[in-house]
Every structure is written in C-alpha cells, then in structure tokens.
Structure 1
Amino acid sequence: MKSGIAQELQIRHEPIGIVFTDDKPEAARQFQEGKWGCTMFMLAAALKGETVVFDQNTCGCQGGGTGLGFGNQYTVFPGGQECFKYFLSTGNEQWEEGRAAGEKVKPFMRPDAYNHFMHGERYKKSPELVGKFIENLPITTVPTEFVVLKPLKEIDEAKEDLRVVSFFGNMDQISALTVLANYGRENNENVVFPFAAGCQSIGIYPYREAERPEPRAVLGLNDISARVYLKRILKDDVMSFAMPLSLFKEMESNLEESFIGGDTWEQLKSLGGK
C-alpha cells in the first residue's frame, strides 16, 4: 500500500501500519517471552524496513503491552499496579511495600531501571495522579492474537487487517499533516496530543479514534523516555502522527487539491535545514 502523502511531503521514514492478525508473520522480529524491551526498539526496526510482531507475552514492557492493546498490563508490573504508580511519579523508596518490591527485583534490573523504580521517573506529581492517568487511558484488548508493525508499502489491504497508519516526520511535515487532517472538516480540532507513552500514541489512542464518527489523528512521541530510545537508533528528531485507516484514506484523497502544490509549501520545503 503506497502513500502519496509520504511522497509529496518527502518524509524520510516509510509510514508504519499496524495490522491485527491471528497468523504470526514468517521471519518477523519479536521479543523473547519474559524479556524486557522497549516498543521503540521494534518500532525503529519497522522504520528500517522490518516486520515486527507482538503478542500478550512478548510485549517487552507493561507500557508497551497496554499501548498496543493487550489489556491493562500494569497489573503485572513488578510489585503490581501500585508500584507502577510510584515508579512513574515519586519512586518506590517512598513506601514500605515499594522498598520490599525493589529488593526483590534489583537482581533482575539494569542499574538505570532500578534507579527509576526506586526514585521515580517523575512524569507525574504523585502516585494518585498516576492512578488517574491509568483510568483515563483508552485501555482495550485487541480481537486477535498478534499485533504487527510493518512498513505501509509492505501491506496488502485486501488481505491484511490494517487498523492504523503512522507517519514519523519533522515539524514542517507534522504541520503539513495537521493541515491535511483538518482540510475537509467543519471543525478545527482534528488532531489530539495526549500525554502518553510513545507506543500508546500509535496504538490504543488511534484505536479509540477509529470508533468516532469523524476520527482524529494522534500526535505523539512527547514521551521523553521513548524519544531517548528512538533517537539513539534513528539519529533523527521526529514526532509521530498516527491515524485510523479511514482518516488516512480521507487525507490521501484530499492531497492533490490541497496546499501541496502551492508556493507556501514549496517555500517551507526550500527552507528545510536552514
């Protein structure tokens, strides 16, 4: 499946499609069961042309499992969901059960991960607010055994259940995508930018948008942990722009008559990198 948008906007990275399937793709990259890994590692592999696959037992981490649609994986975080609340906020050294959980997991954690577990990532002000963060996530369970990420050009829509298309571009390209998402709409708020893990911005948030009569695009990668992992691999500064398939088709159909051939966009392209 090709994207005229990616071509016209000269987006460096091939758009990524999320496919639901009960058939595991051959030769797909996959995390080992029970082994930690950030979804961004696999996303980077997909951006470089590989097919990657996840199931409930090979999500890499609890945030990734939740973000890709395998239910609330925070309940199986080391020490349970309560420890996750302290991990994302003030740290598990703050309470007795957290300290005990830290002693149990220390031998199995990298030093930096253990430091975050005990002292907190400080992404939310309090454990109670992390609880509200979880409550507000559009947690869902996908209807298939596997979730696959692969380059859009490798997807046959007639044979595969394509649910989400994600672009990864610089701010000029993100601006153009925002214009396209709003181009044919009566209102001006057709792109949302939720505070979320990087995987949640390309997974459960656009999954939820697919249920709306007029689905919106989801701007993502405001997760600074995800940005660290992705930047190290891609050596590139990008944001994600994910959308349900129906919005992708709407934007593609509007491309030719839009600003894309105008002088303003040409001027902006010519200023790239200057």
Structure 2
Amino acid sequence: MISQIEMALKMKFNPVAIIWSDKLPEDAMRFKEGRWGCVMWLFANVAKGRTAAFDRNTYGCWGGGVGLGFGNTYQYFPGGQSCFEHFLSSGNKDYELGQNVAQSLQNLARKDFLEDFLEGERYVKTPEKVRKFLEQMPMMDVPTKYVVFKPLKDVDPTLEKPKVIVFPVNSHELAALVVLANYGRDSFDNVIFPWGAGCQTIGIFAYKEISSSLQKAVVGLSDISARKNVRNHLGDDIFTFAVPFDMFQEMESNVKESFLTRPTWISLKTPPSP
C-alpha cells in the first residue's frame, strides 16, 4: 500500500500497519514464549522493514500484553497487579508482599528489573495513583489470535485491512501530522497525547479511537523506558503518531491540496545551510 503521507513527509522509517489476524505471517519476528522483551523493539524492526507478530503467549512483557490488546496481563506481573502498582511508582521495598516476591526473584530476575522492582520506576507518584491510571486504561481483548505489525508498503488492501497505522516521526514530521489531522475537520483537538507505555499508545489507546464517532490520532513514545529501548534502532528524535485506519484514509485524501505541497513545509524538509 502506497501512502501519500509517507511520500510527502519523506520519512526515514516505514509507517507500520497494525493488523488483527488469525493467520501468522511466515517471516514474522516473534518473542519466544515466556521470554521478556519490549514490544517497541519489534516495532523498531518493522519500521525498518521487517514483520512481527504477537499472541497471548509471546507479548514480551506485562505492559506489552496490555498494550497489544490481550487483556489485563498485569495480573501476571510478579506479585500480581498490586506489586505492579508499587513497581511503577514508589517501589516494593517497603511493601510486605513485594518484599517476599523480591526474595523469590533473587536468582531468577535480571538485576536491573529487581532494582526497579524494589525502588520503583517512579513514573507515577503513588501506588494508589497507578491504580487510578489502570482503572482508566482502555484495556481490551482483541478477537483474533495474533496482532501483526507490518510495514505499510507490504500491506495488500485487497487481502487485509489494518486497524491502526503508526508513523514513526521526527519533530517536524510530528508537527505536520498534527496539522494534517485537523486540516479537514470542524474541530481542532483531533490529536491526543496520553501518558502510557510506548506500546499502549500505538495499541489500545489507538484501538479505542476506532469506535469513536470522531476518531482522534494518538501521539506516543513519551515512555522513557521505551525511548531507552529503541534509541539504538530509531535514534533520539522519534515519536509515534497512531491513527485508526479510517482516519488515516481521511488524512491521505487531503495530502495533495494541503500545506504538504507548499514552500513552508518543503523548506523544513530541506537541510539547513552550513
């Protein structure tokens, strides 16, 4: 599938199509069952041209399972959701259940994970606020066996319809997509930037918009951990811009008459003089 947006932006990386499927692509990269991994690692590889797939046994990490749409996988976090609430905030070192779980993990977990488990990632102030965050998260269970990430250029629209298109973009490209998302609308708040894991802002937060009466795009990769995980693959100036497929088509139809053909945008894509 050729994207007018991609051509106008002259993107470094491929837009990524997220597809719900019961068929596993033959060449798909996958995590091994039971092994930890960051969904955004595989996303970065797809942005460079590979294909990846996930199922309910190979989603990489607990947040990734949630983000991809495999239900509330935080219940499988060591010590359950309550220990995750402490992990994301102030840590488990003063939490009795967490202390016991940490002891059981001494010879099993990676050193960096165990340190974060005890001291907390400190992304949210308190465990109680994490619980509020999880209550508001649009968790869902996708109706298919697999969630597939595929470069948009490799999608055959006669055979498969993506649910979401994700653009890995630099700051100028992000600005352009925000303008384009609002270009043909009567409202001008058609892009949201929620806080969440990198995989959640391309997954469930964007999935939620599929059924909205007025779909919105979702900016992501404010997740500090995900940025650390993908910086060697994508660099330091990349964010994600996820749009439901119908909104993507709307934006595609507006490219040729929009600012993307005008000198201001073209000048931004021209490297500055030394």
Distance 2:43 2:20 in 1: 16
The residue number in structure 1 matching 2:107 is 107
User: Retained in 2: the 8 A contact 1:21–1:161?
Assistant: no
In structure 2, the CA distance between the partners of 1:128 and 1:26, relative to structure 1 (3 Å rule), is: same
Which residue type is aligned with residue 245 of structure 1?
A: F
Which residue type is aligned with residue 4 of structure 2?
A: G
The residue number in structure 1 matching 2:182 is 182
Question: What TM-score do you get using the length of structure 2 for normalisation?
Answer: 0.97
By how many angstroms is 1:157 displaced?
A: 1.7
Distance 2:233 2:175 in 1: 24
Question: What TM-score do you get using the length of structure 1 for normalisation?
Answer: 0.97
By how many angstroms is 1:235 displaced?
A: 3.1
Distance 2:118 2:273 in 1: 41
Distance 2:273 2:165 in 1: 26
User: Retained in 2: the 8 A contact 1:21–1:147?
Assistant: yes
By how many angstroms is 1:211 displaced?
A: 0.6
The residue number in structure 1 matching 2:74 is 74
Distance 1:63 1:78 in 2: 13
Task: Kindly indicate whether residue 40 of structure 2 is the aligned counterpart of residue 36 of structure 1.
Answer: no
By how many angstroms is 1:271 displaced?
A: 5.0
Instruction: Provide the aligned length of Structure 1 versus Structure 2.
Output: 274
Distance 1:65 1:15 in 2: 22
User: Retained in 2: the 8 A contact 1:20–1:146?
Assistant: yes
Which residue type is aligned with residue 9 of structure 1?
A: L
By how many angstroms is 1:108 displaced?
A: 1.7
Distance 1:194 1:105 in 2: 32
The residue number in structure 2 matching 1:50 is 50
Q: Deviations over 1:50-98 (max 9, x none)?
A: 1100001100000000000000110111110000000000001021111
In structure 2, the CA distance between the partners of 1:104 and 1:10, relative to structure 1 (3 Å rule), is: same
The residue number in structure 1 matching 2:18 is 18
By how many angstroms is 1:213 displaced?
A: 1.4
Which residue type is aligned with residue 198 of structure 1?
A: G
Report the secondary structure of 1:199's partner residue: helix
By how many angstroms is 1:267 displaced?
A: 2.3
Which residue type is aligned with residue 16 of structure 2?
A: I
Which residue type is aligned with residue 87 of structure 2?
A: F
By how many angstroms is 1:232 displaced?
A: 2.1
Distance 1:99 1:21 in 2: 40
Superposition CA RMSD, Å: 1.2
Which residue type is aligned with residue 198 of structure 2?
A: G
Distance 2:273 2:52 in 1: 32
By how many angstroms is 1:236 displaced?
A: 4.5
The residue number in structure 2 matching 1:251 is 251
Which residue type is aligned with residue 81 of structure 1?
A: Q
In structure 2, the CA distance between the partners of 1:26 and 1:86, relative to structure 1 (3 Å rule), is: same
Q: Deviations over 1:94-145 (max 9, x none)?
A: 2111100111122221111110011000000000000011011100110100
Which residue type is aligned with residue 21 of structure 2?
A: T
Task: Kindly indicate whether residue 228 of structure 2 is the aligned counterpart of residue 228 of structure 1.
Answer: yes
User: Retained in 1: the 8 A contact 2:16–2:151?
Assistant: yes
Which residue type is aligned with residue 103 of structure 1?
A: Q
User: Retained in 2: the 8 A contact 1:79–1:101?
Assistant: yes
By how many angstroms is 1:27 displaced?
A: 2.2
Distance 2:272 2:170 in 1: 10
Which residue type is aligned with residue 93 of structure 1?
A: K
Greater CA deviation, 243-252 or 261-270?
A: 261-270
User: Retained in 2: the 8 A contact 1:16–1:150?
Assistant: yes
Which residue type is aligned with residue 124 of structure 1?
A: V
Identical pairs, percent:
47
The residue number in structure 1 matching 2:262 is 262
**Aligned pairs for 1:129-144 within 5 A:** 129-144=129-144
Distance 1:244 1:190 in 2: 12
